[in-house]
Amino acid sequence: MEPELQLRQTNLRDQALSILKLRLISGDLVPGEIYSASALAEELGVSNSPVREAMLTLVNQGLMEAVRNRGFRVLPLSRKERQNIYELRMLLEIPSMAKLAGMKEKLQAREAEFTKIISDMVRYAHEGNIVGYLEMDRQFHLGLLAILENDQLVNIVENLRDQSRQFGLKALRQTGGLIKSAEEHQPILNAMVSGNAALTAKLMTTHLNHLVGDWAG
């Protein structure tokens, strides 16, 4: 019985970690604020242990810091750090997505899958559900990169995404910009499926510009 219990506990930790990362990225967890593992655990409907383990993982990743006898503080992200993340993502993702445009058969085989992800993303955007939007955005970008079969690339991009702070998404939700952002993904997919690497690179450049523009807040 013990191995099964351990597996379930690990799964809860991973689920809690995924939720906390999305809240960090969306700005729901505010830099400088201190959060209690027990309070978040109660909100998520789980025991303290998996949430505390998830928060310690975020500490190890440099996204939070432990505050003795109080909880965990979200570390701020400077404009320079945001710019560094943006530049790294530009260097990694744009040529990688352009490369995918040369893999038409693999993309066409999974076109329906990614079209469904985009559809869900647009729906979440219309609902104003930032966490749902970000999860679909993650599945779209990382899922496509995974087709290149380069685990190191996917892991690096995922870590860069986790370090982002897209506070401006809340403002975009009010202005309708979140919907526009979600709708940018279909032309990117279409360009790749059609084999147009130049257009893919152009559309991805515009899309990633949001990181230091309106998404930054």
pLDDT tens digits, one per residue of 30-47? 888 999 999 999 988 888
- Sorted by where each starts, the structural domains of the chain and their CATH numbers stand as 2-74 (1.10.10.10), 79-212 (1.20.120.530)
Q: What is the pLDDT of residue 22?
A: 81
pLDDT tens digits, one per residue of 58-100? 999 888 999 998 999 988 878 888 889 889 999 999 999 999 9
Distance (Å, whole) CA 170 – CA 167: 6
The answer to whether 19 touches 25, Cβ cutoff 8 Å, is no
Please name the residues in contact with 25: beta carbons below 8 A apart, sequence gap of 6 or more: 134, 161, 162, 164, 165, 166
Say yes or no to pLDDT of 16 above 60.
yes
More confident residue, 83 or 163: 83
pLDDT tens digits, one per residue of 173-212? 766 778 888 999 999 999 999 999 999 999 999 998 876 6
Using 50, 70 and 90 to split pLDDT, how confident is the model at 170? low
Distance (Å, whole) CA 167 – CA 44: 22
Chain-wide mean pLDDT for the chain? 86
Q: What is the pLDDT of residue 5?
A: 36
Q: Largest Cα–Cα distance of the chain, in whole Å?
A: 56
What is the rounded average pLDDT of the residues 13-35? 85
pLDDT tens digits, one per residue of 143-162? 999 999 999 999 999 988 88
Structural tokens at position 161: 């995404």
pLDDT tens digits, one per residue of 100-112? 999 989 999 999 9
What is the rounded average pLDDT of the residues 125-151? 93
For residue 34, list its beta bridge partners.
73
> Rounded to two decimals, what is the model's pTM?
0.78
Q: What is the pLDDT of residue 10?
A: 56
Please name the residues in contact with 88: beta carbons below 8 A apart, sequence gap of 6 or more: 160
Say yes or no to pLDDT of 6 above 70.
no
